[in-house]
Structure 1
Amino acid sequence: MDVLSDVITLMRTGRPLTARERKCGPWSERHGPFPGAGFHVVLRGGCWLIPHEGGPIALGTGDVVLLPRGTEHALAYSPDLPYAGIPRADHAPLEVSPRADAEVVPLGRTDGVSVDLLCGAYQLDQDRTHPLLAEMPDIVHLPATVGSRPGLRSAVDLLGADLEQARPGSSAALTALLDLLLIYIMRAYTEDSADRPGGWGWPVALADTGIATVLHSMHQDPARPWTVQELGAQAGLSRAAFARRFTSMVGQPPLAYLTWWRLATAARMLRESEAPLAVIASRVGYSSQFAFANAFKRQFGQAPGGYRKGRRDELQLTGTEQTAG
């Protein structure tokens, strides 16, 4: 797998949620905060995104928005609606229930519709937030531009069509399409950020052939006893030059990132598999279960066995709540 796919696989938990709605103005609704990543796609018409901090953002047909940390925000017919429910310096805080001012109209109706929206959220494990996601802004706005991001546009069109009319296989297709949408959004963000003058951080690291090769090697074989010199040779740089370049782009020294990746991978295995602790320790590069347990506890604040049990209990509780709902 490539690094971006690894990042998404590492963080994702549960099934993504989504809904398609049409609204008539004036309307507003509040979203978040949510322990994951939210997204909005404007399929037709326009509206405003009102963040908790900062100025309102105009959204038009084809625009895509990702909120990597599920930040509280509102969507509204107009940027001047104080009843969007977001306490802000320029609005008097009002007690408004989420979505209370939104008029949802049937998808079959087209008269008087101000906007056709696709909204949803991805559940993310907050203990395994990858540095790529952590350094993204609270709001990633990808405006529609003719001829740009054809893959993203195709995913949006397929999602909208599947949500508008249920067909055989829609449930499986929806999950796959939502995963595809997240990949295309993050790909667009990293590519756009890497192309900006003075760009830095993970987008630039993924666009740098040498650093991207090293990241891929770490991800593909975390158990290997990598040295900075070996990694630098893969990047075609001296040990010192590689260490400086990697740290400036990724935000951590090479071996510190490798340790983080090993333990984050172990956390996913603890949650998703029944593999014994000794097997997991070996697969992520620890020579003994004791050394692995100590490193894991330093990173996550609890022993691997306790982490596994706690996450299994959470998963069962979530499944029960979804079934009851």
Structure 2
Amino acid sequence: MSDPAISQVDRLSALLDRFRVRATLFHTGALCGAQAFEAVPGRGFLHVLRRGAMELRHRPGEAVAPRLRLDEPTLLFYPRALRHEFVNPPVDGPDFTCAALDFDGGDRNPLVQSLPPFIRVPLDAVDGLRPALDLLFAEADHVRCGSRLLADRLFEVVLIQLLRWIVDHPEEAGVTSGLIMGLSDPRLARALVAVHRSPCDEWPLAKMAEVAGMSRSAFAAAFKQATGSTPAAYLTDWRLSLAASMMRSGRPVKQVAVELGFASASSLSKVFRQRLGASPRVWLAAKG
């Protein structure tokens, strides 16, 4: 059960406002035989095994189990590109509803970076998920005006509910460090949410610790243990992730620097080169 102190802080909205995710329904119904889902950069998947049994395969050497047998309704979440294959009976295969996921920022999306490559969750483990799934299935299974668009939005609702569960149960989701672990701590979550909401503000260690209600030394140690990063390094990475997303949408470097609290455009460019290995202009050109 989640700590009531954590639930008082909305840990996801600021993240999802800055880095949106779009779901696109592409299959509903039975799947028979072998079905492969190739790894496409920047593309994730959310599959709902509604009924039936199947075998899930990954390539040997990946950081996930090469074979899994599933025989209960389950969510299969791939936050980033990872090839996977469903092996089903040749006839009367199990029922799935599946969506492709596109995360703003691609590989630099903070949520994507903080999640394991694959998460498996039984449907009944996520409180409140069934009503959203019932609505999703009703729209996905019938052709009506706007049904595909509504199904896409409902898939996004299901994803947010899943992310909420992951933040509340990081160990069960296979999360060991990073942003998710920081958000699971009620004290660190307060500081992280404040930084996410106001990245342009000055955020010295003392101010972050004050928001968290901790001493500077205790906050710095807890932050490092949970996220694997220092508070200052996390702030820089958060600003750079925002900067990359803003520049890809066409915002000029000078404007981005002002909005994110950098002293100047050249200051942003310098940090950008240090962390990403290229100037903003070169980086943008490489991203096409």
| TM class by smaller structure | 0.7 to 0.9
1:137 matched to 2:116? The reply is: yes
Aligned Cα root-mean-square deviation (Å) = 2.8
SS at match of 1:302: coil
Say if 2:47 and 2:76, in contact at 8 Å, map to a contact too: yes
1:22 corresponds in structure 2 to 30
Residues 1-325 of structure 1 mapped to structure 2, 5 A cutoff: 2-12=10-20, 16-24=24-32, 27-35=33-41, 36-53=43-60, 54-77=65-88, 113-124=92-103, 125-130=105-110, 132-145=111-124, 148-193=125-170, 201-272=178-249, 274-308=250-284, 311=287, 314=288
Distance 1:308 1:7 in 2: 23
Residue identity (%): 27
CA distance change for structure 1 residues 217 and 290 in 2, over 3 Å: closer, same or farther? same
TM-score, reference length from structure 1: 0.74
5+ residue gaps, structure 1, are 79-102, 104-111, 315-325
SS at match of 1:120: strand
- The alpha carbon displacement at 1:226 in A equals 1.0
- The alpha carbon displacement at 1:60 in A equals 3.1
SS at match of 2:56: strand
TM-score, reference length from structure 2: 0.83
SS at match of 2:240: helix
Distance 2:179 2:214 in 1: 19
Partner deviation per Cα, 1:163-183 (whole Å, 9 max, x = no partner): 211222224323322221221
5+ residue gaps, structure 2, are 1-8
Counterpart AA for 2:211: Q
Partner deviation per Cα, 1:22-70 (whole Å, 9 max, x = no partner): 134xx11222223222221112222121222435222234211112223
CA distance change for structure 1 residues 154 and 18 in 2, over 3 Å: closer, same or farther? farther
Counterpart AA for 1:118: T
